[in-house]
Amino acid sequence: MRNRIIAAIAAAVLGCSGPVLAKVSPAEAERLKNDLTPVGAERAGNESGTIPAWTGGLASPPANWREGTVEINPFPEDEALYVITRDNLDQYRDILSDGHIQMLEQYGPEFFMPVYQTRRTAAFPEHVYEKFYQNALTAELLDNGNGVRDTIMTSPFPIPQNGLEAIWNHILRYRGEELSFRSASATPQRDGSFNPVVNQYDYFFAYSRPGAELEDIDNKIFYLKTETVAPSSLAGTITLVHETLDQVRSPRLAWRYDSGSRRLRRSPNLAYETDLPNSSSLRSVDQKDMYNGAPNQYDWELKGKRELIVPYNAYKLHDETVRPNDVIRPNHINQDLTRYELHRVWVVEAKRRTGISHIYDRRVYYIDEDSWQILATEEYNEAGELWRVSEAHNIVYYSVPVFWTTMEMTYDLKAQRYYIDGLDNGYPAYNFEPGYRGSEFTAAAARRAARR
């Protein structure tokens, strides 16, 4: 078997008739203070030393970084250890995903993967680590896995027992308490030409606020308001989302204000396989943030762990001197700005349930053991062909700290085009303390904002 599985963990998770007990024993939870990190990763490095032990991550920013400024590269002296290309990929197949193998074969030699020293930088505040431990003792899946209970603030299942628990860890991972930033997305043509769409993003994470209790947040994970700034033809468009925890019982609420009609309307179909707005049909709504929304359309299997080359510590892509023209190239982004490292990832396979309609028949997720962030995915069509490959390039945002994406892209291997999001270069640093209140994210508040 070509793919080397480090730890095989069987799981069939959907189709249950009652709650799936997921909380672990106190003795098992104590592992989060011993051989496992607070988030559930293996604290030790690997036998060969190519993956180091976890020592707390990048919990403190570089000495020359200043609060309120864009994150700087904490490893400016690092050089690539080696570069994987189409010509030498056979040497590395065992530590490459099928998606990256296909990218190398289809787009090489222009597409290559510079591999750097592995640095386990993912870090979170101490009070978040405490919640990981508490969640491990109490969290459970609801009926059929469409929601969770007895959990708050961050990932519910630091010691996962099945694939559905692992994907909920991504969906509910800690991303701060509130956030304001501006960035652009684009869908480059085959020749590399593009027209960016610039949006202002404002988040309020009800689930992650200190002191919050699950029964008090009205089934909400977060509130999100986006306002399109450019181009002029779309400027003034506002989208408001109330992201719910159990989306089968209480589906995602979404509204959209079109500056042309000057009306705020409900958007009931902003979920699942619906085309992501402004993505030229290259990405579905549930691919935003690598995966979001209700998991009820798939059966989820936890395949185990692998050592895999994945995007990590993408400070070159995040650099404030870089511009979209520096990033975007025909077929894929500028690989000179990327950084890949060898990390342990959880492998989760999602197979479309019988009778469900979705453009993706099978999906594979590679989830970082140190953060529960999905780092890469593969999407297959009904014929079983690899159709799309997605990457999440991540950094530690120093002011929190929190490990999250700075840029995401979905590569359509058949259309030979891609969608890219997170072109935040040239804009102010992310503000994780804008001082929002939940009342600012109601439909009435969005309507007032649209009329100003």
Residues with Cβ within 8 Å of 117's Cβ and at least 6 positions away in sequence, in order, are 75, 78, 81, 341
Cα–Cα distance, 162 to 165 (Å, whole number)? 6
Tell me what pLDDT residue 450 has.
Answer: 78
pLDDT digit string, tens, across residues 348-367: 999 999 999 999 999 999 99
Any domain includes 95: yes
Any domain includes 346: yes
**pLDDT of 406 higher than 80:** yes
Cα–Cα distance, 368 to 403 (Å, whole number)? 10
Q: How far is CA 443 from CA 208, 217, 272, 440, in A?
A: 22, 17, 22, 9
Q: Which pLDDT band, with edges at 50, 70 and 90, does 14 fall under?
A: very low
User: What is the chain's percent helix, strand, coil content, to nearest 5?
Assistant: 20, 30, 50
Mean pLDDT for the stretch of residues 145-169: 96
Strand residues in 105-232 grouped as ranges (E): 113-115, 140-141, 148-149, 178-186, 197-204, 220-230
Q: How far is CA 143 from CA 150, 278, 381, 428, 429, in A?
A: 14, 35, 29, 43, 41
How many domains are contained in the chain? 1
Residues with Cβ within 8 Å of 228's Cβ and at least 6 positions away in sequence, in order, are 197, 198, 199, 234, 235, 236, 237, 238
Closest C-alpha to 145, from 303, 15, 293, 10: 15
**pLDDT of 7 higher than 70:** no
Closest C-alpha to 124, from 165, 173, 88, 86: 173
Residues with Cβ within 8 Å of 200's Cβ and at least 6 positions away in sequence, in order, are 180, 181, 182, 226, 227, 229
**pLDDT of 424 higher than 90:** yes
What are the b/e assignments for 49-59, b being 16+ CB within 10 Å?
A: eebeebeebbe
How high is the mean pLDDT of the chain? 93
Tell me what pLDDT residue 284 has.
Answer: 97
Q: Which pLDDT band, with edges at 50, 70 and 90, does 219 fall under?
A: very high
Mean pLDDT for the stretch of residues 251-258: 92
Please give the span between the terminal C-alpha atoms of the chain, in angstroms, as a whole number: 60
Could you check whether the bond before residue 401 is cis, i.e. omega within 30 degrees of 0? yes
Tell me what pLDDT residue 13 has.
Answer: 35
- Cβ(44)–Cβ(53) below 8 Å: yes
**pLDDT of 3 higher than 90:** no
Tell me what pLDDT residue 156 has.
Answer: 98
**pLDDT of 15 higher than 90:** no
Cα–Cα distance, 198 to 364 (Å, whole number)? 30
Any domain includes 256: yes
pLDDT above 90: percentage of residues in the chain:
88
Strands 238-244 and 386-397: unpaired
State the residue range of the domain holding 107.
Answer: 80-450
What are the b/e assignments for 290-301, b being 16+ CB within 10 Å?
A: bbbbbbbbbbbb
Any domain includes 96: yes
pLDDT above 70: percentage of residues in the chain:
95
Mean pLDDT for the stretch of residues 24-40: 97
Tell me what pLDDT residue 8 has.
Answer: 41
- Which residue bears the tokens 């250890």? 81
Tell me what pLDDT residue 22 has.
Answer: 67
Provide the CATH number for the domain around residue 218: 2.50.20.10
Cα–Cα distance, 193 to 43 (Å, whole number)? 45
pLDDT digit string, tens, across residues 279-318: 999 999 999 999 999 999 999 999 999 999 999 999 999 9
Cα–Cα distance, 305 to 366 (Å, whole number)? 9
